[in-house]
Amino acid sequence: MGFIRCSPLDHPEPEWQSEETAISVHNLTKKFKIPKQRSLTAFDRLSAYVRRHPSLYEEFFALRDINFRVEHGEALGIIGPNGSGKSTLLKLIAGVLSPNLGCVSVQGKVAPFLELGVGFEPELSSRENIYLYGAIIGIPRREIDRRYWDILDFSELRRFEYLKLRNFSSGMYARLAFSIAIQADSDILLLDEVLAVGDEPFQRKCMEKIEELRRAGRTTLYVSHNLESVKAMCNRCILLQEGQIVSIGSPDDVIDRYHKGMELPPESGEQKPEQSDSFEKIINF
Amino acid sequence: MWFFEYYDLIRILTISDLRVKYQSSVLGFLWSLLNPFLMLLVLYVVFSGLYNQSSTDFILYLFVGITSYRFFSNGTSASVQSIVSKANLVTKIYIPRKILVFSIMLSGLISAMLEFLILFALLIIFMAPITFNYLLFPVITLVYFGIVYGIALALGALYVFYRDLNQIWEVVISIGFFLSPIIYPVTVIPEHLLKYYMLNPITIIMQMYRDILLYGISPSLLTFGYAVCAAIIILAIGATIFSRLEWRFAEEI
């Protein structure tokens, strides 16, 4: 199981893949073309072509030449300011985006979710949504049948089995989503700020669950702005800034570096504000 | 294979699309049949006078044409937005994206088969010759599904990049209605244009449906072979366009 995804220009090199490595990222570059207009029609493209006005796009490098490896069973934290490329990196590893340069190689099954609750249908009940979300993240129907009560019990939403999701609070929504997601039998978990909602006891419960999965040999990639939780959960950490790895190592060192960086912005830290603005729009959309 | 691996998801997406279409009710389904019936009625009143056809033959001729064309027109126009309307499932999670097009097509196929059930009822009422040729119905439908699915893949992928494609496609569907033998017999086409006219694979499919359902004859091997080749070519082109564009879906939506 697993996959290798390369840009059209690159070919996978066998020497940097090995069975022990869960994830290898090699010379990875991701470039976004940001349209100057909201959406483009055939008419726009045709008229731009006729008027010889080719720049319908601005280019923006979300990630530049990223290299790292993650061994099986590791928990890697990814931190950095907004727009530094954290989510883009996870999306590339999940296979949602494809690289412009370089390769991503993954050994094992990736849980295909970044945000929790993608595809939840507000007009359906919790029960129906458990089956729907299970199908989306690839849990076989039999397995959901078997673990149905585990899911509801973990989320502590047993009373609301037949309630429509549109009546849920955002915390209940997140609880249900997390409880289903951890049932996916994946080797690699990609978690992008998933614990931001939910009350403290539930957050603690989730952390314990993730820790338990990690000890069982699952590999975890954890993106968060909550640096304390990164320290608590991860054995290694990456600091991203403007699409480049600034620092990689033990969470304490990297977080120190991040704090220093915030006090004294690096020389190269001048970025064009309008570019990062439009980048944020893309991500948030 | 993706179909078996994602069977549950395909089933759920197909059912939810059908639910939306029929508003979760039997009455919703009946309402959706009203549209082809009204169309049939109008076309029958207008054209039966024009051609002086004997009435039952013409009404069945029309009905086969309308029902089979509706699978093409409804299926392809629903598929145009199949990727964009499920933006969440493209940008926030990884699933093979052709599932989104495929489940819309399955729901279109089920709707079309329900309409064909009405046709079968009419065939029995009007005592059309029921022969072993009826066994070819699923085979022809499978070939037709291939053609429509190939077009749907291309449309769904291209719409991500060209957001006025739905308008353009509506025009194509209206033109196609008059370029296919729905309201007129093939015999009205001038001799020297006929060979170009018969290149349209939808025309071929429609004629094969009529052969087996109305006239009780089996289509010639050449005709059938042409339809199969057309389906394979269209499917290959559609799948190629889709896979070439798929890697940029998540950034463009």
Q: Is A217 left (phi over 0), alpha (psi -120 to 50) or beta?
A: left
Residue range B159-172: mean pLDDT, rounded: 92
Residue B179, pLDDT score: 93
| CA-based nearest residue to A222, from A251, A191, A198 | A191
Give the closest of B8, B88, B247 to A135, CB-based.
B8
**What is the amino acid identity at position B225?**
G
In this predicted structure, what is the pLDDT of residue A272? 42
pLDDT number for residue A15: 55
Per-residue pLDDT at B126? 83
Q: How many CB pairs under 8 A join A and B?
A: 71
Q: Are A199 and A171 in contact (CB under 8 A)?
A: yes
- B12/A131 Cβ within 8 A: yes
Mind telling me how many Å the CA of A141 is from chain B's nearest CA?
7
The alpha-carbon radius of gyration of chain B (Å, integer) is 19
From residue A227, how far is each of A57, A87, A230, A234, A253 by CA, in Å?
36, 16, 5, 10, 12
- What ipTM score was computed for the predicted complex, to two decimals? 0.77
What's the pLDDT score for residue B233? 97
Contact A112 B251 (CB under 8 A): no
Render each residue's pLDDT in chain A as its tens digit; 285 residues: 567 777 766 666 655 556 678 888 888 899 887 776 655 677 777 777 777 665 667 788 899 999 999 988 888 999 999 888 898 999 999 888 888 888 888 888 887 667 778 888 888 889 989 998 888 888 888 999 999 999 999 988 899 989 988 898 888 888 898 889 888 888 888 888 776 667 888 888 888 888 888 888 888 898 888 888 888 888 899 999 988 998 898 988 898 888 887 765 554 444 444 444 444 444 433
Q: List phi, psi (to 5°) of B51.
A: -100, -10
Question: Domain map of chain A by residue range?
Answer: 2-112+229-284
Chain B residues in contact with A285 by the CB 8 A cut-off are 91, 253
Comparing A225 with B28, the larger pLDDT belongs to: A225
What does the alpha-carbon distance between residue A25 and residue A106 come to, in Å, rounded to a whole number? Answer: 9
Query: Among A265-274, B33-42, B183-192, which range has the highest average pLDDT?
Result: B183-192
What's the pLDDT at B93? 86
Contact (CB, 8 A) for A92 and A98: yes
Interface of A with B (CB under 8 A): 32-33, 39-43, 45, 91, 94-98, 110, 112-115, 118-119, 121, 131-132, 134-138, 140-141, 282, 285
- Tell me, what amino acid is at A48? A
Q: What is the CATH number of domain A2-112+229-284?
A: 3.40.50
pLDDT of residue A18: 62
Helix (H) or strand (E) holding B183: none
**Residues of A with Cβ-Cβ distance to B5 under 8 angstroms:** 138
Which residues in chain B touch residue A282, judged by CB atoms under 8 angstroms apart? 251
Contacts of A31 (CB under 8 A, 6+ apart): A59, A60, A61, A62, A100
Q: Give the DSSP per-residue string, B61-129.
A: HHHHHHHHHHHHHHHHHHHHTTTGGGHHHHHSB---THHHHHHHHHHHHHHHHHHHHHHHHHHHHTTPP
| CB neighbour list of residue A152: distance below 8 Å, 6 or more residues apart | A126, A130, A158, A161, A179
- Residue-level pLDDT at A283: 42
* Residue A264 C-alpha, separation from nearest chain B C-alpha, in angstroms: 33
**Shortest CA distance from A132: residue in chain B:** B12
> Can you give the pLDDT at residue A174?
85
Confidence tier at B72 by pLDDT (50, 70, 90) = very high
Q: Give the mean pLDDT of B67-84.
A: 94
Q: What confidence score (pLDDT) does residue A274 get?
A: 43
Task: Determine, for residues B88 and A118 on separate chains, whether the beta-carbon distance falls below 8 Å.
Answer: yes
Question: Between B87 and B144, whose confidence is greater?
Answer: B144
